Amino acid sequence: MTRRQWLSLLLASPPAPFSGTFLQLTREHRQWPEARWRELWLHLRALGASRLIVQWTQDGDEPLLDLLPPVFASDLSIDLGLVHEPRYWSDGAAAFAGIEARCRALLPRLQPFAHQPNFRGWYITTEVDDVRWQTPATRMELVRHLKATVKAVRRVRRAPVAVSGFSNGALKPLALAEFWRRLLRETGVNQLLFQDGIGAGKLTLAELPDYYGALRRLPFLPVVEIFQMMRETPFEAVAAPLSRVERQLVLAGPAPLAFSLPEYATPNSVGGSADLYQALSGYRRVVSLP
């Protein structure tokens, strides 16, 4: 490779490893001054993010729509999430009726934001694992719920719809890929955001390549978990070491999403690491000549 070719490749490469990230809105964000929001957007851009998935716009019975104006004031492309239902993880399909009722009330209020220039699409907040939806009855309920949600959001605005999923290792890679192939086809969801499960201890780095390989034929995007879970209930995590995140990035390939830069890789975040931010913001910029 000539020096000219190397420089062309370097200039064409993304300045940082991530194409986007998630944002979990909480009532604490109401205390943020405008300057702190602007600082967050600058940090995310320094890490390569151009896509921001607002994981939910309502937490239980509490709408968080008042926090969307500073989000849409950014230059990021925005996916709008729907309702976070804390009982979903304990109740499963029994929580769907409540989630759908809240979504019906929420969606008309999201309509002005869904027509903003930097609105990208919709995000269904209910994450899908590979354990609870394997019987015909539970799978039917999941398909019905996702299909109804896709139909509801597209009445507000036709746009791509994404949903997150992860593996507990309950399904082998090819079986998981077939599960998602059918689920995407039957529900109209456009994209699977597949969490690598490394931070939560769901999968190992040795297992992950087989899952990525099986999913490659699907419209999916890897989500690199940049945290290390300390406790599951209540959830507690800290920023992962850079050495582990680098291995995840190699496996994920170009332009994955991160879960989650605001929490774990910005200088002012509670569970985050200024060192991880500094390292990731310079990632791929330090390249030696061949």
> Which SS3 state, helix, strand or coil, does residue 80 take?
strand
Give the pLDDT of the chain (290 residues) as one tens digit per residue: 344 543 343 344 444 689 999 999 999 999 999 999 999 999 999 999 999 999 999 999 999 999 999 999 999 999 999 999 999 999 999 999 999 999 999 999 999 999 999 999 999 999 999 999 999 999 999 999 999 999 999 999 999 999 999 999 999 999 999 999 999 999 999 999 999 999 999 999 999 999 999 999 999 999 999 999 998 888 889 999 999 999 999 999 989 999 999 999 998 776 667 788 988 887 653 333 33
pLDDT at position 5 is 44
pLDDT at position 279 is 86
pLDDT at position 286 is 38
How many Å apart are CA 282 and CA 66, to the nearest integer? 34
**Which residue do the tokens 């719920």 mark?**
145
pLDDT at position 275 is 82
Domains contained in the chain, CATH given:
16-281 (3.20.20.80)
How far lies 170's CA from each of 129, 132, 133, 186, in Å?
Answer: 9, 10, 11, 22
pLDDT at position 271 is 66
> Which SS3 state, helix, strand or coil, does residue 222 take?
strand
Given a contact cutoff of 8 angstroms between Cβ atoms, the answer to whether 96 and 133 are in contact is no
Calculate ∠ Cα 211-164-220, nearest 5°.
50
pLDDT at position 284 is 53
